[in-house]
Amino acid sequence: MTPRDLVITRHAARFLGRTFPVALGRGGIVPPEAKREGDGATPAGVHRIVGCLWRADRLARPCDWALPIGPADLWSDDPADPDYNLMVRAPHGFSHERLRRADPLYDVVLVTDWNWPQAEPGRGSAIFVHLWRGPRRPTAGCVAFRRDHLLWIVARIGCGTRLIVRG
């Protein structure tokens, strides 16, 4: 573990010597082998950060490697979909989540390598790092932060930064 790792525990995150409050999945932290689609759990383990998405219509680009979220951008969460746990575009005939949300939760999103790039159907899709609804308000399994904290973190993430979730 290094100071450049984003280390998550049940109620806090550490990154570059700072501590931040965090919100996790309503199902708590589970061992990776127990993670299932729709369980609301955050999988323990070491996860690579593989992308950053953001709403260009709502805020400035948070880092130089961020990609804008467009109106047709979706994320497949259907284990029967050949594109399960991948970003897809509307129209899409399988169950999916809209990335361009009405609320601010996905104004900036870090994408992890949970069950990616070779997704095992049913193991769970899209463990994102995104904005929270409020302190300790649970997510669907993702890791969530206050806006100013997440923007501070995203601006300082480097190649090799890992999301380490401790059970």
Domain count, the chain: 1
- The DSSP-derived string for 113-155 is -TT-SS--TTS----EEEE-SSTT--BSS-EEE-HHHHHHHHH
Q: pLDDT tens track of the chain, all 167 residues?
A: 888 999 999 989 999 999 999 999 999 999 999 999 999 999 999 999 999 999 999 999 999 999 999 999 999 999 999 999 999 999 999 999 999 999 999 999 999 999 999 999 999 999 999 999 998 899 999 999 999 999 999 999 988 899 999 98
Confirm whether 35 is domain-assigned.
yes
Confirm whether 88 is domain-assigned.
no
Confirm whether 85 is domain-assigned.
no
User: In which domain, by residue range, is 115 found?
Assistant: 6-69+101-165
**What pLDDT does residue 23 have?**
98
Confirm whether 75 is domain-assigned.
no
Confirm whether 138 is domain-assigned.
yes
Confirm whether 74 is domain-assigned.
no
Confirm whether 86 is domain-assigned.
no
**What pLDDT does residue 126 have?**
93
Confirm whether 53 is domain-assigned.
yes
Beta strands in the chain (DSSP E): 6-8, 12-15, 18-21, 29-30, 42-43, 45-54, 67-68, 73-76, 87-89, 96-98, 108-112, 128-131, 143-145, 162-165
Please give the Cα distance from 126 to 110 (Å, whole number): 10
The domain that holds 125 is classified in CATH as 2.40.440.10
